Structure 1
Amino acid sequence: MEELGWKMVRNCGGLPLAIVVLGGILVTKHTAREWEMVHGNINSYMSKGIGVGQQHRGVSQVLALSYDDLPYELKRCFLYLGSFPEDSQINLEKLYQLWMAEDLVLLDDVGGEDTIMDVGERYLSELAQRYTVQLGVQEEDFSFGRFQNCSLHDRMREVCLSKNKEENFLNVFDFGKRKGTKPLDSSCSSSSSNAKVRRIVIHLGNEEDYKDDPRELVSNFEHVTTQGHLRSVLIFGDDRLIMDSHFKYLKVLTVLHLEGVKLVGFPKAVGKLIHLRYLNLRNCELQGKLSSSIGNLRCLQTLDLRDNYANLIIPNVLWKIKKLNTSIS
């Protein structure tokens, strides 16, 4: 096993990330035969020639192997991390709630006194043990689990996005222009592979990205959200105006994440999304009275209204939502 270990480490190109990820794979293997299989898999990946340049070719293969070695339920949870913006600190409470709404936590793993949140924490611990995610610093005053947040290393995020594209798990649209990327590739948006994707993630950028043509954002966003088969829409950005018409086609939506997106009033069409399980309106600058149509969301499990204006009035309709686990104002 020591000899096999040295051979595999040589494929890591001396980079610490690849070495610790390899360790995360091997820590679950307890026999020489299992180590031989990992070594053979690394050689097989190396022979495919995937990667940029000889220096990083082995690193790419080790990271890809770390994903393929994950159990089915952990693969889906890992892929979901690709939703969040680059270099972001992912809040664990939010992550577990999203996993729960997306049915990524297997009910067979919930037993005894465990809750779905407990299983979500266990999943993340397993991912961290394999070094596919990095856990945030523990805080003494943090009451939800042992850690506050997690993040993805840049190279691991590349693997995550690549696997998402291969498996049609989710699509990411980056409307920001500062990085030199096109707001939207319409040919990609209408492709057959895109028709199979049930989850989309939209990175809006900020005010500077659309100062030349503010209508461009509205046009691009409408194009993406006219896909009636979508189950999840996660939007990240700030200081953006979302129009009510954007939601009228999303009749089977179960997850809607609008945190940080500026809204002019509560979108009435959201009250018609009766299949919603997760609704995040945190820091959306809502004010006045929330629409009573929110009481129509009988499947809602999570509702986050934090960090809105202090004078936000919530109508007495939340009692109608029998499955609601979290209601925060």
Structure 2
Amino acid sequence: MATIGTPVYLKVGARSQIAKNNYTDLVDFVLQGVSGDPGFQVFFLAFFSIFYTMVVTGNTLIFMAISLNPSLHTLMYFFLANLALMDIACTSTVLPKLLKGLVGKGSHISYKGCLTQIFFISWFLGAELMLLTAMAYDRYVAICRPLHYSMLMSRPVCVLLAGTVWAISAINSSVNTGLLVRLHFCGHNQIRHFFCELPALLLLPCSPTTLNNIMTVLADVFIGVVNFLFTMISYSFIIASILRIHSAEGKRRASSTCSAHLMVVTFYYSAIIYTYVQPGSGSSMENGKVVSLLYTTVGPILNPLIYSLRNKDVKVALGKVFPCVC
């Protein structure tokens, strides 16, 4: 068995082809982790264990409360239930492996495991960004076109929107992960991150990554920038509509409906766009660790609090389903 931190090699394909290319491909990679200081291991282990428990518990409670309470079977809560699932899946893709490394079970990850982690993290993050856009459109219709809400945001339309979000993000993730298969990793196997993330992995190949970089930027522009613009356009109409409301109470209620969503949108888009558009330098990758913690750990904790636990209807539903919670 190879020692952690030592490159491990695997011959791929016919021997003649290997001789021709004069390289072998890596079997596994070594994740650098959150910090190289062993003195912080116990702290980070406790920190991430608590955070992972909070993410899974909070979002599971929200999902079950929405699913089991008929009064919450509305379109807004349908999107929130999808968001809760995405948060659980996103965090579960990253933190269990990180915790395993922190308890000394090994910081290495197999080649296939690394690609699998990249596929799922890209899928769930992309789906979450597009879902936030769908939620912004839902708020736009509810505030700016309330008389047409039942027609424009019918249940079939919402199911179609949610399904499209999951499908498009899965296709995007499949393309970017598939393009990684064509690359050859034949030298340095240290990933300067605490999980396999596309920008960090693209620093390692010994074959050209031009096509991968182009597709990554295109995906980021489509899923990140374009969706962000659609969200901002929706909110420009929402704000204009709120300003036309004469009642102070009406303005307050309309603003409270959208302020939480706008805050989460800004948080997620700024973090993820920074990560995937940043130049691949050492300092930027160190900063990227902090940013990645925001959208893989902090965001999934805040979402239940921002969207649901402050909501009176959700509190009542939680009290009915789980009497000991509320």
TM value normalised by structure 1: 0.23
Higher relative contact order (CA 8 A, sep 6+): 2
* Higher helix proportion (structure 1 or 2): 2
TM-score (normalised: structure 2): 0.23
Q: Which is richer in strand?
A: 1
